[in-house]
Amino acid sequence: MSGNLRVLVIGGVACGPKAAARLMRLMPEAEVTMIEKGEMVSYGACGLPYYVEGMFSNINALTHTPAGVSRTPEFFRSWKGFQTLTRTEALAINRNDKQVRVRHLESGQEEDLPYDKLVLATGGRPFKPPIPGLDLKNVWFMTHPDDAASLVAEIELQGLKKAVLVGAGFIGLEVAEALINRGLDVTMVEMANQIMPGILDEDIARFAQIHMEDNDVELVLGETVTALEGGDQVDTVVTDKQKIAADFVVIGVGTRPNDDLARAAGLQCNRGIVINEYCQTSDPDIYAGGDCVPNAYIHRQVGDPLYVPLGSTANKHGRVIANHIAGRPTPFSGITCSSVVRVFDYTLGRTGLTERMLRALGVDYEVTTWTGQDIPHYMTGSRLFAIKMLASRRDRKLLGVQVAGMGNGAKRLDVAASVIYFGGTLDQLADIDFGYAPPFGPPIDPLAVCAHVLTNKLDGLAAGMPPLRAKRMMDTQDCLLLDVRIPDETKMEWIPHTDMLHIPLSELRDRVAELPRDRDILTYCKVSMRGYEAQRILNAAGIDRVWFIEGGVAAWPFETAMPGL
């Protein structure tokens, strides 16, 4: 390409700065200009809830490099070699003349900026539900550093105590923890009947919901906010079922792609700006990346593009765009929907597809839930967590993994994402050479153990029943609940049912005659390893209507019974 290639980048948060900086490393002679409507550039928006929590005191730290240098226009000029124009709004794209009409917001002056290649990194905008009262004071959307800074300032200035969070997605969960840790009262309202409805299946979500309630978050699920009320300042959140008092409200009901500029320019859009594998739009000289675009799923099982706005994806897009402009094409393969969030001392996350998605796609799948320790039980710091795993019945390929609990689920998610990316099977996952030492994991990694359980189900050895299905059976059918734990364990906590029997696993072979052969039997223990062994013992004795409750007491997402309760 010519030495004076002009590249104009619209958007200065994640994808835009990445594309511009990478391009200058590949083509130092290029003339790259990045424009940003706001005053701040290249900030870590995902860190906003942690500022609210008080984990760092300077909001500008979100713009700092690891060396502590602030990413300002001067930084990008002197360190990265490209020009940055803040407080500059892109008004329209003239594709015929290859110009972008911009307005300098400080002066109001307008001008046309020429380009040879144009990069649209216009990001997303928070979805504003069509309800009255959004313009009241003390209503926040958590998308920009100014939002977090003003929220913290007003909490301290006004002495705000009671928060209502609308939406139980990433932002809602992170802000809930932040506010609880600041000593505030928090109520979370979600129109779905679970938290993280677009990310997790109901069983894993229920497991996490119990933990949130244990940490004093009041969950209001299955209710739709219809209005915010107050004088000039919000004091009430109205749902379709009740009214909730509030000192302030944080709205976090999702993000929508900011594709207005692209649509006005006649670029193809569908739930965002449509791009190819090199992030080119329907105009080959215009690229797009980040939260303004949808993404294809990695293996193309999902026909429609998925809108999963994440900073990690935006940075990948920036690199792909720069490489292609510089003549070093490296395609972006798609996403595996990997996402993770910390909720108090729980890790919640998912990679791949959920049960809901697989059912919608008509995929024949099998599923299991495993619970156990992230490192050996004898090690200090050993923590319990749950893994939900889904695989294809047809070819045993791993399709999805979800994690929840105090244990290190993020490490397992990353491995699972790699297996899904490369189209691996359960058998291949179980054969991975995980790094082993007691401080880091058990001899057989939990992810491999979960894969073993699922292969046992596919092979007809394990008759595991997911907790939600087990609860339905207990509520609607005549079944016997068999607890195979040792006596001391049964005194701590158990799964309640109208017809229960306790036989320790060590005695089961000698007491098989006590069990009916004409009823359904559900076995369980703490994590259901012994529940599985009980199922095999009873099967060997000719009792066929036996299932073990996957995850045992540890993963039971409903109320359990305890002595004195």
Tell me, letter by letter, the H, E, C secondary structure of 305-373: CECCCCHHHHHHHHHHHHHHHCCCCCCCCCECCCEEEEECCEEEEEEECCHHHHHHHCCCEEEEEEEEE
Per-residue pLDDT of 458-502, as tens digits, reads 999 999 999 999 999 999 999 999 999 999 999 889 999 999 999
Instruction: Look at residue 306 in the predicted model and tell me its pLDDT.
Output: 83
Question: Per mean pLDDT, which range of 196-205, 217-226, 305-314 is the poorest?
Answer: 305-314
Instruction: Look at residue 378 in the predicted model and tell me its pLDDT.
Output: 94
Question: Per mean pLDDT, which range of 112-116, 410-414, 557-561 is the poorest?
Answer: 557-561
Cβ neighbours for 59, distance < 8 A, ≥ 6 positions apart:
51, 145, 148, 149
Q: What percent of the chain clears pLDDT 70, i.e. is strictly above it?
A: 99
Average pLDDT over residues 230-247: 96
Axis crossing angle, helix 409-421 with helix 446-458, rounded to the nearest 10: 50
Beta strands 234-239 and 243-245 are: antiparallel
Nearest to 521 by CA among 549, 482, 553: 482
Q: What is the CA radius of gyration of the chain?
A: 27
46 a catalytic residue: yes
Instruction: Look at residue 562 in the predicted model and tell me its pLDDT.
Output: 82
Instruction: Look at residue 302 in the predicted model and tell me its pLDDT.
Output: 75
Say whether 285 sits in a helix, a strand or coil. coil
Beta strands 520-524 and 546-549 are: parallel
- Choice among 46, 292, 450, 525 that is catalytic: 46
Q: What is the mean pLDDT of the chain?
A: 95
Instruction: Look at residue 295 in the predicted model and tell me its pLDDT.
Output: 87
Say whether 421 sits in a helix, a strand or coil. helix
What is the distance between the terminal CA atoms of the chain, rounded to a whole angstrom?
75
CB atoms within 10 A of CB 330: 13
Instruction: Look at residue 244 in the predicted model and tell me its pLDDT.
Output: 98
If pLDDT is split at 50, 70 and 90, which confidence band does 3 have? low
Helices (H), 159-250: 170-181, 202-214
Cβ atoms of residues 369 and 388 within 8 Å: yes
Interatomic CA distance for residues 516 and 530, integer angstroms: 19
Cβ neighbours for 436, distance < 8 A, ≥ 6 positions apart:
442, 443, 445
**CB-based burial of residue 122 (10 Å sphere; 0-12 exposed, 13-18 middle, 19+ buried)?**
buried
CB atoms within 10 A of CB 86: 18
Instruction: Look at residue 310 in the predicted model and tell me its pLDDT.
Output: 87
- Is the pLDDT at 424 greater than 60? The verdict is yes
Instruction: Look at residue 393 in the predicted model and tell me its pLDDT.
Output: 96
Cβ atoms of residues 263 and 154 within 8 Å: no
Instruction: Look at residue 296 in the predicted model and tell me its pLDDT.
Output: 84
CB atoms within 10 A of CB 313: 21
Cβ neighbours for 476, distance < 8 A, ≥ 6 positions apart:
none
Sign of CA dihedral 503, 509, 515, 520: positive
Instruction: Look at residue 4 in the predicted model and tell me its pLDDT.
Output: 87
Average pLDDT over residues 392-411: 96
The residue assigned the tokens 């500029």 is 261
If pLDDT is split at 50, 70 and 90, which confidence band does 564 have? low
Say whether 22 sits in a helix, a strand or coil. helix
Per-residue pLDDT of 19-61, as tens digits, reads 999 999 999 999 999 999 999 999 988 999 999 999 999 999 9
- Is the pLDDT at 1 greater than 50? The verdict is no
Instruction: Look at residue 305 in the predicted model and tell me its pLDDT.
Output: 78
Q: Mind listing the domains of the chain with CATH numbers?
A: 6-124+256-325 (3.50.50.60), 139-253 (3.50.50.60), 339-458 (3.50.50.60), 464-555 (3.40.250.10)
- Is the pLDDT at 563 greater than 80? The verdict is no
Q: What percent of the chain clears pLDDT 90, i.e. is strictly above it?
A: 92
Interatomic CA distance for residues 227 and 236, integer angstroms: 8
Cβ atoms of residues 191 and 172 within 8 Å: no
Interatomic CA distance for residues 190 and 222, integer angstroms: 6
Say whether 20 sits in a helix, a strand or coil. helix
Per-residue pLDDT of 66-77, as tens digits, reads 988 999 999 999
Beta strands 398-405 and 346-352 are: antiparallel
**Which comes out higher in pLDDT, residue 197 or 562?**
197
Per-residue pLDDT of 303-354, as tens digits, reads 677 888 888 999 999 999 999 999 999 999 999 999 999 999 999 999 999 9
**Main-chain dihedrals φ then ψ at residue 315, nearest 5 degrees:** -70, -35
Average pLDDT over residues 182-188: 97
Tell me, letter by letter, the H, E, C secondary structure of 358-412: HHHHCCCEEEEEEEEECCCCCCCCCCEEEEEEEEECCCCEEEEEEEEECCCHHHH
If pLDDT is split at 50, 70 and 90, which confidence band does 285 have? very high
Instruction: Look at residue 553 in the predicted model and tell me its pLDDT.
Output: 95
At 125, list the tokens. 């905008």
Cβ atoms of residues 79 and 21 within 8 Å: no
Instruction: Look at residue 300 in the predicted model and tell me its pLDDT.
Output: 73
Helix or strand (DSSP H, E) at 531: helix 529-540
Instruction: Look at residue 2 in the predicted model and tell me its pLDDT.
Output: 45
- Is the pLDDT at 240 greater than 80? The verdict is yes
Say whether 64 sits in a helix, a strand or coil. strand
Q: What share of the chain is helix, strand, coil (3-state, %, to 5)?
A: 30, 30, 40
Interatomic CA distance for residues 237 and 235, integer angstroms: 7
Residue 327, sorted as left (phi over 0), alpha (psi -120 to 50) or beta, turns out to be left
- The sheet that has 99-104: what strands, in order across it? 88-94, 99-104, 110-114
At 69, list the tokens. 């240098």
Q: How many helices (H) and strands (E) does the chain have?
A: 16, 28
What are the b/e assignments for 398-428, b being 16+ CB within 10 Å? Answer: bbbbbbbbbbbbebbbebbbbbbbeebbbee
